[in-house]
């Protein structure tokens, strides 16, 4: 079995070494599409130590912290694995995300500036049906960014923290499914309707549209996505 090669970013200065390693590892794991059918989930401790240019002791402390958080699983004498959720768990996560992001949209209509809301239109303005087909990977990143911006503009730190605990898995499922069926085309239409509701400060409509948009992802996963 081959090992996963993470894209490790420089760990920088500040904080303790093990904290910097932890943050860098967590960011790399969260940027990995772990629900790709060919994704390899096993991490190589020796290679990670070489990539960081450190001994294994602070690396193991960082990995132990990630294990406690449920991002990786350390199996004695077998290795370290990124945790991939079951289909039932993913469906639950998407349901919770729909509730959180729906509330975020409600708060955006109350808390965000006109300029902040306009940034969503700018973000989505370069894509139409044909552009999406030609640039599906780029649109996938934009789609994920769209949802992150809504959460950020809610200006509710607790809501953002709760969503962050789900982000790696929901992000990976969005990335896997955006090119399936006509989801990308529907996504563009949904996003424009959401933006219009936010611009109109229509609290109830914005919350409903965002919630339904994510629940449509749940319905797609439930019906079409096969997972181990």
Residues of the chain with CATH 1.20.120.530: 87-224
Q: What would the pLDDT profile of 157-212 be if each residue is shown by its tens digit?
A: 999 999 988 988 998 899 889 989 899 999 999 999 999 999 999 999 999 999 99
Residues of the chain with CATH 1.10.10.10: 17-82
pTM, full prediction: 0.82
What is the 3-class SS of the chain, one letter each residue?
CCCECCCCCCCCCCCCHHHHHHHHHHHHHHCCCCCCCCCCCEECHHHHHHHHCCCHHHHHHHHHHHHHCCCEEEECCCEEEECCCCHHHHHHHHHHHHHHHHHHHHHHHHHCCHHHHHHHHHHHCCCCHHHHHHCHHHHHHHHHHHHHHHHHHCCCHHHHHHHHHHHHHHHHHHHHHCCCCCHHHHHHHHHHHHHHHHHCCCHHHHHHHHHHHHHHHHHHHHHHCCCC
The arrangement of secondary structure in 87-224, i.e. its CATH architecture, is: Up-down Bundle (1.20)
Q: What would the pLDDT profile of 126-160 be if each residue is shown by its tens digit?
A: 887 677 878 888 999 999 999 999 999 999 999 99
Q: What is the pLDDT of residue 97?
A: 98
Q: What is the CATH number of domain 17-82?
A: 1.10.10.10
Q: What is the pLDDT of residue 12?
A: 53
Q: What would the pLDDT profile of 17-28 be if each residue is shown by its tens digit?
A: 888 999 999 988
pLDDT confidence tier of residue 34, bands split at 50, 70 and 90: confident
pLDDT higher than threshold 80 for residue 13: no
pLDDT confidence tier of residue 227, bands split at 50, 70 and 90: confident
The token duo for 46 is: 């020796």
């Amino acid at each position: 079995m081959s090992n996963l090669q993470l894209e490790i970013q420089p760990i920088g200065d500040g904080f303790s070494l093990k904290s910097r390693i932890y943050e860098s590892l967590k960011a790399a794991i969260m940027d990995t599409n772990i629900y790709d059918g060919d994704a390899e989930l096993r991490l190589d401790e020796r290679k990670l130590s070489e990539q960081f240019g450190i001994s294994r002791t602070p690396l193991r402390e960082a990995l132990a912290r990630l294990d406690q958080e449920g991002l990786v699983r350390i199996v004695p004498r077998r290795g370290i694995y990124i945790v991939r959720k079951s289909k039932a768990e993913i469906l639950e996560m998407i349901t919770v995300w729909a509730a959180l992001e729906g509330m975020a949209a409600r708060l955006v209509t109350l808390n965000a500036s006109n300029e902040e809301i306009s940034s969503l239109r700018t973000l989505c303005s370069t894509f139409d049906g044909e552009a999406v087909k030609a640039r599906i990977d780029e649109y996938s990143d934009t789609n994920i960014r769209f949802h992150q911006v809504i959460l950020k503009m809610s200006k509710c730190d607790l809501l953002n923290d709760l969503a962050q605990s789900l982000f790696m898995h929901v992000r990976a499922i969005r990335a896997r499914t955006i090119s399936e069926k006509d989801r990308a085309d529907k996504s563009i239409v949904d996003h424009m309707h959401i933006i219009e509701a936010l611009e109109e400060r229509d609290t109830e409509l914005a919350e409903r549209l965002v919630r339904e948009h994510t629940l449509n992802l749940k319905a797609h996963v439930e019906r079409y996505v096969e997972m181990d």
